[in-house]
A and B are shown apart, each in its own frame.
Chain A
Amino acid sequence: MKRTAVVIILTLVSALALIGGDDELIDRKFPDFTFKTLDKEELVLSEFCEENPTIVTFWATWCKPCVKELGKLKEMKPELDARGVKVIAICEDGPRTQAKIKPFVRKEGWDFIICLDSDGKLKSKVGVADIPEFFILKSDMQIAYHHVSFKPGDEVEYLEQIEKLFPVLEEEKEIEEQ
């Protein structure tokens, strides 16, 4: 009886999952939250997004694809800066490895806003299951692009999306022309 019930539930859930074709998260509102950065600064995500187009990504020091993804975002810095795009990297390291975050970030030379989420509160709020998970947010907090996991080459699509969504800032254009 139990076996039948479980199989029925699984079938229903999978069928429900297959109904939608496109990424249902696109155009949805990203949950707002207040967070503290590694430098102890307190930021409200919605206020931050209003001022800057924002990338939010979830990572951890032990997650190899996450570190690769952030390394690629570091390489994209000129393109991101030209469009005023900021990166918020939410770190999921637990207490056993938390002490290594700061030296790790320094070693990698990441100039991102690093936010700690050691109790997984933000991860749960956003509904993130696997890391890395990558979001591009518009100024009204709508999700413009969403990607789960990272493989080398995914950064090409990230850049295409950023170029499509956010034009180069006027002051950057002037600098280029000069």
Chain B
Amino acid sequence: MKNNRIEFALICLVIFSSVAFSLSATARNTLEYRAAESDKGDSFLEDRLDLRMSISNISMGIRFEAMQPSRSSALTRPDSTYTAITQRWAEMMTDKFTITAGTFTKTMGKGFLLDARERLEIQEDHHLDGVNLDVDFSEVEIEFLAGNADWDNYSLFKAGQITSNWEYFPVNTGYIRFDVNGEDPLPDLIGETWSVGMAKDIGDFYAELRYANTWQGPAGAGVNYRGEAYYVNSSAIIGPIVLYGEFLEADSFLVKGYTQEYATLPLIVRQPSYTLLSRHLMELDPRNVTAFNANAMIYPIFDFEIDLSGAVVMKDSSDLVYYETYGSLSRDWKKFSLKGIYEYQDFANDDYFHNIVLEPLYYIADDKSFVLDLEFQSGTEYGESFSNFYALGELAISSLGSIGLEGGQLTESDGDKENFGRVYIDTYIAENHKLTLGYGRRPGGFTCSGGNCRYEPRFEGFELKLSSSF
């Protein structure tokens, strides 16, 4: 309630300032319409608007997202459906102080304390509602936060962190207290975490250490949990080779996506960088794990860029639950470039993936290019053998846009094969309006694009997307 009042007062202040003085405004809007072919599923209409206004050192904005038909989010608020979401925020910034009120994202303790991340689609809401004060004295930065989690609407946070940017003492330490907005909270929804970390560069050598200690459960309830996490990463340059390694040990440490969604641990395993795997994304539970990876990036040897890595995840210090090996080789010629990737992933439940990717690119002229993306996967998922493939061919002309054709075949969980294919044109109809027209069939599933993952329903038909800045 108190947060809401502060937020309201700040927004009023910004509105008053906006009326009294001249204002600058920018907006981005994306309109997406998909017309499904008869009896092949629903048609979709979506719009995302990001509007920002600023004057001097005060700014404010809204994000608006609307969709038809109404739908629920696969990741957050699974029991509710909605047709529109609105977020609003206001910020006042001076040389030393920044006050933010409304809906915003925040990272504290490099994610060990708090990780409220921005998402392209606000349907997958990873924002906070509240107030944040940042005081920056250059050598030392202090932050305070009080907020409510947008992703569940009942987690409350009070947090603070101090960061020293002093060269001889580059330390970050912070504390967060989380609670719930209800009379009879579950014990594992109350707790606190503190963390301390240090990062240091010495010539071509870099090292970072971090420790976090967490506690959950109401005092005296007899259901208290304690957890700890240690994390180390280091990199060094030796001639043309960059060596990089990470180590993580975490016991009952709370992580995003599980009992509490508020913190996150570093990603020891490699993120999918191709299309197929994202539809078979397998999440590892990063609690009670010991994990490490090693990565060697070699650039260039005989004009080839080489990237080799391996990662191992163990549960309860000894049981191997996952390991992966990855290798990629790429080379650029004058008009042609080629990248090849091979990755093997092995899960303790006997499932494994072989992934092979080939990405040739040819420059027809300086401003015209043709790119292919060829991907193949085979292995087992839940004990059943599968093989998938995906191919994309795209012709891009810098001043006009691009035309592409994509297709492939996926093995579904019941063993059936599903074919899909789509043709699309992507063009600028004016300097600030990008139009995409497509026709075909998209497979359903969890897809990742540009670092954002979301559940895409299966769709067959015509699609139109208009992205504008104005």
A22 to chain B, nearest CB (A): 5
Q: How many residues of B contact A (CB 8 A)?
A: 86
B378 CB within 8 Å of chain A? no
B396 touches A14 (CB 8 A): no
Partner of A157, one of B244, B271, B361, B367: B367
Tell me whether A2 and B83 are in contact in the complex, defined as CB-CB below 8 angstroms, given that A24-B432, A40-B167 are known contacts. yes
Which of A13, A24, A62, A104 has its CB near the most chain B CB atoms (within 10 A)? Answer: A13
> Which residues of chain A are near B110, meaning CB under 8 Å?
95, 98, 118
**Beta-carbon contact of A13 and B49 below 8 Å:** yes
In the bound complex, CA of A94 to CA of B54 (Å): 26
Are B84's CB and A120's CB within 8 A?
no
Contact at B111–A103, with CB atoms within 8 Å?
Answer: no
- Which of these binds chain B: A27-35, A81-89, A166-174? A27-35
* A18 near B297: Cβ-Cβ < 8 Å: no
Interface majority SS on B: helix, strand, loop or mixed? Answer: strand
CB distance from A140 to the nearest CB of B (A): 15
Residue of B nearest to A20 (CB): B470
Cβ proximity bits B7-30 to A, threshold 8 Å, 1 near / 0 not? 000000000000000001011111
Within 8 A of A (CB), among B43-67: 45, 47-50, 52, 54, 59, 61, 64, 66-67
Query: Does B434 lie at the interface of the complex (its beta carbon under 8 Å from any beta carbon of A)?
Result: yes
Q: Which of B50, B265, B431, B434 contacts A21 (CB 8 A)?
A: B431
Q: How many A-B residue contacts, CB cutoff 8 Å?
A: 191
Q: A102 to B206, Cβ gap below 8 A? A: yes
Q: A21-B431, A22-B430, A103-B297 are in contact. Are A97 and B398 (CB under 8 A)?
A: no
**Nearest-CB residue, chain A, relative to B104:** A124
A21 CB to nearest B CB, Å: 5
For B54, what are the chain A residues with a Cβ–Cβ distance below 8 Å? 31
CB of B366 within 8 A of CB of A156, answer yes
Taking a contact as CB atoms under 8 Å apart, the answer to whether B367 and A103 are in contact is no
- Once A24-B432, A153-B367, A153-B398 are accepted as A-B contacts, the answer to whether A6 and B138 lie under 8 Å apart by CB is no
In the bound complex, CA of A40 to CA of B139 (Å): 10
Cβ of B24 and Cβ of A29 under 8 Å apart? yes
Q: Do B26 and A28 touch across chains, with their CB atoms under 8 A apart?
A: yes
Is B165 in contact with A40, judged by CB distance below 8 angstroms? yes
Instruction: Determine whether A175 belongs to the interface, using a CB cutoff of 8 Å to chain B.
Output: no
Q: Are B28 and A129 in contact (CB under 8 A)?
A: yes
Within 8 A of B (CB), among A1-53: 2-3, 6-7, 9-10, 13-14, 16-26, 28-29, 31, 34, 36, 39-40, 42
B468 in contact with A17 (CB, 8 Å): yes
A151 within 8 Å of B (CB atoms) = yes
Chain A nearest CB from B90 CB (Å) reads 12
B105 touches A120 (CB 8 A): yes
B95 within 8 A of A: yes
- Asked whether, in the complex, the Cβ of B59 is within 8 Å of the Cβ of A125, the reply is yes
State in angstroms the CA–CA spacing of A133 and B111 once bound together: 25
Q: Which of B115-123, B175-183, B346-354 contacts A (4 or more CB under 8 A)?
A: B115-123
**Residue in A9, A60, A95 whose beta carbon sits within 8 Å of that of B451 in the complex:** A60
Chain A CB within 10 A, most for which of B167, B430, B431, B467: B431
Q: Is A63 positioned at the interface, with any CB of B under 8 Å from its CB?
A: yes
Query: Which residue of A64, A96, A123 is within 8 Å of B118 (Cβ)?
Result: A123
Enumerate chain B residues within 8 angstroms of A64, measured Cβ to Cβ: 273
| A39 closest partner in B (C-beta) | B201
Complex Cα gap A34–B96 (Å):
10
Q: Which residues of B contact A18 (CB under 8 A)?
A: 433, 468
B26 touches A24 (CB 8 A): yes
Q: Mark B454-470, 1 if CB is under 8 A from A, else 0.
A: 00000000000011111
What's the Cα separation between A120 and B127 when bound, in Å? 11
A118 in contact with B273 (CB, 8 Å): no
Question: In the complex, are the beta carbons of B237 and A106 less than 8 A apart?
Answer: yes
Task: Give residues of chain A (73-112) contacting chain B, Cβ–Cβ below 8 Å.
Answer: 92, 94-100, 102-104, 106-109
> In the complex, what distance in Å separates the CA atom of A129 from the CA atom of B67?
18
Q: Mark B339-371, 1 if CB is under 8 A from A, else 0.
A: 000000000000000000000010101111101
A154 within 8 A of B: yes
Known: A6-B84, A25-B432, A34-B136. 15 other contacts (CB 8 A): A2-B83, A2-B84, A6-B68, A18-B468, A19-B470, A42-B165, A94-B111, A95-B111, A98-B111, A107-B297, A118-B110, A148-B434, A148-B467, A154-B398, A157-B367
CB<8 Å pairs between A and B, sample of 9: A14-B29, A22-B431, A24-B26, A95-B266, A96-B264, A119-B107, A130-B120, A151-B369, A152-B363
- Among all A-B residue pairs, the 6 with the closest Cβ atoms: A95-B111, A17-B468, A152-B369, A153-B398, A23-B431, A107-B297
